[in-house]
Amino acid sequence: MSILGNIGIVGNGSWGTALAKILTDNNRHIQWWLRNEDAVKHLQRTHHNPNYLTSVRFLEGTIHPTADLQQVLNNCQTIVFAVPSAYAQSVLESVPADMWMGKNIISAIKGILPESNLILNDYLARNPAFDLKRYVAITGPCHAEEVAQERLSYLTFSGLDDVLTAAVAEAFHNNYIYTTHNHDIWGAQFAAVLKNIYAIGAGMAHALDYGDNFLSVYITNCYREMYRFLEQHFEKVHPSNERPDFHTSAYLGDLLVTGYSLHSRNRLFGTMLGKGYSVKNAILEMNMVAEGYYAARGMQTIAADLQLEIPIASKIYSVLWQQVPPADMFKALEKTLS
């Protein structure tokens, strides 16, 4: 039997739907948890998600949607967790904690759990029974919309167990998805968190009529800040672990695509704020979660606890959570970039 066993997906947003498409295109049959019973019935009847990536159609028999999370956990050895970080902890806590233990947990979250200010593996590690070697994180650069179009994309898988991580990477590899894997669980996930924050800033800059010249300088400085945070985080928290290579597509590439792409919801969120929307109205208008919004607050706590400085992310936080006008923030930021 495969090391992965039966695979279940938890979450049916655009990213969860894209991952379901990849797996079913690779002849994997999946169990799929959806929060909404109406969405379950729609998928069973029409074989496509009614709300996200509606152009993606699944072959009959390849997906088994359900609103019963315990059913998925009982029947699957490998769980792809693709719930937005804002709702992740409530989903995790909706079933007994021991139901998550002993599973291969594949995290497709690109954010921080806002109630605890933890990335998913650190949240799960609060349970002594959690085996970190059975955890793998998925990062990009990869937009769900381009997966739906089968445009060539790259996924990075980070895990401590080479056999499991390679097996997960192989399960997602096909003619339009190239995969690589490494050991850097923490760096890859924190890079994904930070790039979403920086992408909100990129959207604000665009709306405020800053041009490509400025944006290239801004992104360069964001990457420098990200790299410095990852290096210092590694030294303070995981000094004995193998040092990862941060100059790869999972770090710089994911930052670039999220900061520049029109598919980026974080960039769109920032664009709306730069145009004068309030945070509340931008959230309502988008009807989707911009992971960088909650990540900006969580990273302030994490950076403060570790006594690390993230000045660009802190300025974006001031707009999102302290009502500083975007134009005022960027005027102050201009003078600090190089």
Q: Is 195 assigned a catalytic role?
A: yes
Q: Which residues contact 55 (CB under 8 A, 6 or more apart)?
A: 48, 148
Order of strands, sheet of 104-107, starting from the edge strand that comes earlier in the sequence: 63-66, 30-33, 7-10, 78-81, 104-107, 135-139, 153-159, 177-182
Q: Which residues contact 234 (CB under 8 A, 6 or more apart)?
A: 186, 187, 241, 243, 244
Number of CB atoms found within 10 A of residue 184's CB: 28
The strand ranges marked E within 67-159 are: 78-81, 104-107, 135-139, 153-159
CA–CA separation, 316 vs 311, rounded Å?
A: 9
DSSP class of residue 6 equals S
Helix H or strand E encompassing 185: helix 185-207
- Catalytic residue selected from 41, 195, 275, 331: 195
CA–CA separation, 41 vs 155, rounded Å?
A: 31
Judged by DSSP in three states, 159 sits in strand
Helix H or strand E encompassing 66: strand 63-66
Q: Which residues are catalytic?
A: 195
